[in-house]
């Protein structure tokens, strides 16, 4: 049976993790993500799970990776400064195909910045934060309901594709309280990693997404962040082994982008102007669309629930009729450059940026800019 609850975003995230089957959480206190650890510290042991407060974020994600190889679904939660520290092991999780979920509740950076205030400055770090060739799956919730739904989805994608998945929330969505519908366990789709047959020996290749054993099952698994062959054996001199491995790891996400990407589309095919937005900023856009109608401006709206992989084709579809695109963000321009890259000069792309004090872009501010620029583009 579904239940209606009045929850904070971080609480919804914690409860969703439990609903998705999370049995291990490790983290380090940081605003504005701490409520996730606090909620799980209370709730997870009741479900037979473990919560560890580690000595830092390097250790937190390390413990998550260990727990995942021991067979548990595992998660950590942090904010920008901690997310930076986690990057080495995010690369390791990608290279070793370790399913895990990393929640980054964004605040205003760089550095300690404005620790309690909202920002959306980690979009590119979520895409390119670790070193080397890799690609990411990054989800962006814009409501308490989506903190729940997309946390479940993050676990499912991590398990299905054997890769780390980032839930890129922000302070506003994480700290706001809203009514949400909590589905009953039988209504929630749960994906579990594909386990090997007793005869399986290749857990790092030969298939696009190999099966994943756990330690202690007699498979003699060799796991390494160094370049390895399909048996997991370190192979650091052969160019072909490296090429095949890294191209497969990137390919398994790129090739399945259509299945991974989830979007909210409003009037994207017949609009005269379009807005691309995500996270808390996208909440402003709903009202802007209504206000624009009164000004006889026919706006389209594309909301990225999946930020990475980026939906180039959908943005291009919107640019077929729209004569101009707007990208409002609480940073100095990040997704703006992706939209500009996707439309490839076909229509002008306008960044609308606001940072500082956690102040959101208001519908009126957005409307003013839209009205002015739509007229100018004629």
Q: List residues binding other proteins (CB under 8 A).
A: 23-24, 26, 45-50, 52, 54-56, 58-72, 74, 88-89, 91-92, 214-216, 218-226, 232-234
Q: Which neighbouring-strand residues pair with 181?
A: 4
Instruction: For the CB of residue 20, give the shortest distance to other proteins in the complex, in Å.
Output: 17
Instruction: For the CB of residue 41, give the shortest distance to other proteins in the complex, in Å.
Output: 10
Q: Which is nearer to other proteins, 245 or 304 (CB)?
A: 245
Instruction: For the CB of residue 313, give the shortest distance to other proteins in the complex, in Å.
Output: 36
Q: Which is nearer to other proteins, 66 or 113 (CB)?
A: 66
Q: Which residues contact 301 (CB under 8 A, 6 or more apart)?
A: 264, 265, 266, 267, 268, 274, 275, 277, 285, 286, 289
Q: Pairing state of beta strands 164-170 and 137-139?
A: parallel
DSSP 269: S
Q: Which is nearer to other proteins, 51 or 366 (CB)?
A: 51
Q: Which neighbouring-strand residues pair with 234?
A: 228
Query: What distance in Å separates the CA atoms of residue 317 and residue 352, rounded to the nearest whole number?
Result: 21
Closest CA to 367 of 257, 286, 278: 286
Query: What distance in Å separates the CA atoms of residue 118 and residue 106, rounded to the nearest whole number?
Result: 7
CA–CA distances in Å: residue 19 to residues 15, 22, 98, 218 = 6, 7, 20, 30
Instruction: For the CB of residue 216, give the shortest distance to other proteins in the complex, in Å.
Output: 5
Instruction: For the CB of residue 70, give the shortest distance to other proteins in the complex, in Å.
Output: 4
Q: Which is nearer to other proteins, 48 or 345 (CB)?
A: 48
Q: Which is nearer to other proteins, 26 or 318 (CB)?
A: 26
Q: Which is nearer to other proteins, 241 or 322 (CB)?
A: 241
Instruction: For the CB of residue 29, give the shortest distance to other proteins in the complex, in Å.
Output: 15
Instruction: For the CB of residue 62, give the shortest distance to other proteins in the complex, in Å.
Output: 3
- ω before 258 within 30° of 0 (cis)? no
- For residue 31 the two structure tokens come to 């605003």
Instruction: For the CB of residue 86, give the shortest distance to other proteins in the complex, in Å.
Output: 11
Query: What distance in Å separates the CA atoms of residue 54 and residue 58, rounded to the nearest whole number?
Result: 9
Query: What distance in Å separates the CA atoms of residue 170 and residue 104, rounded to the nearest whole number?
Result: 8
Q: Which is nearer to other proteins, 59 or 273 (CB)?
A: 59
Gap between the terminal Cα atoms of the chain: 53
Would you list the DSSP string of 75-100? EEEE-HHHHHHHHHHHHHHHHHT--E
Q: Which is nearer to other proteins, 88 or 200 (CB)?
A: 88
């Amino acid at each position: 049976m579904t239940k209606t609850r009045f929850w904070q975003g971080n609480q919804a995230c914690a409860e969703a993790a439990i609903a998705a089957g999370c049995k291990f959480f490790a983290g380090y206190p940081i605003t504005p993500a701490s409520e996730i650890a606090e909620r799980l510290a209370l709730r997870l042991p009741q479900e037979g799970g473990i919560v560890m407060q580690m000595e830092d974020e390097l250790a937190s994600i390390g413990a998550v990776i260990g727990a995942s190889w021991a067979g548990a679904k595992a998660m950590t939660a942090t904010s920008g400064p901690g997310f930076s520290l986690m990057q080495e092991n995010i690369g390791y999780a990608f290279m070793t195909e370790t399913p895990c979920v990393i929640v980054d509740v964004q605040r205003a950076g760089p550095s300690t910045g404005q620790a309690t205030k909202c920002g959306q400055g980690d979009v590119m770090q979520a895409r390119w934060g670790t070193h080397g060739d890799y690609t990411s799956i990054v989800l962006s919730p814009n409501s308490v309901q989506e903190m729940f739904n997309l946390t479940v989805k993050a676990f499912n994608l991590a398990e299905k594709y054997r890769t780390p998945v980032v839930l890129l929330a922000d302070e506003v969505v994480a700290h706001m309280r809203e009514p949400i519908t909590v589905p009953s366990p039988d209504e929630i789709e749960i994906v579990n990693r594909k386990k090997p047959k007793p005869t399986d020996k290749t857990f790092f290749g030969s298939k696009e997404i190999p099966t994943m054993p756990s330690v202690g099952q007699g498979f003699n698994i060799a796991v390494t962040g160094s370049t390895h062959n399909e048996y997991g054996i370190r192979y650091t001199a052969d160019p072909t082994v490296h090429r095949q491995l890294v191209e497969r790891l990137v390919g398994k996400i790129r090739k399945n982008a259509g299945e991974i990407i989830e979007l909210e589309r409003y009037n994207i095919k017949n609009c005269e102007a379009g807005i691309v937005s995500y996270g808390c900023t996208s909440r402003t856009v709903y009202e802007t669309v209504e206000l624009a109608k009164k000004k006889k401006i026919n706006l389209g709206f594309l909301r990225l629930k999946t930020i990475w992989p980026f939906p180039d084709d959908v943005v291009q579809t919107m640019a077929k009729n729209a004569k101009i695109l707007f990208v409002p963000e609480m940073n100095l321009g990040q997704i703006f450059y992706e939209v500009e890259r996707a439309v490839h000069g076909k229509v002008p792309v306008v960044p609308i940026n606001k940072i500082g004090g956690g102040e959101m872009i208001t519908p009126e501010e957005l409307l003013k800019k839209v009205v002015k620029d739509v007229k100018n583009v004629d």
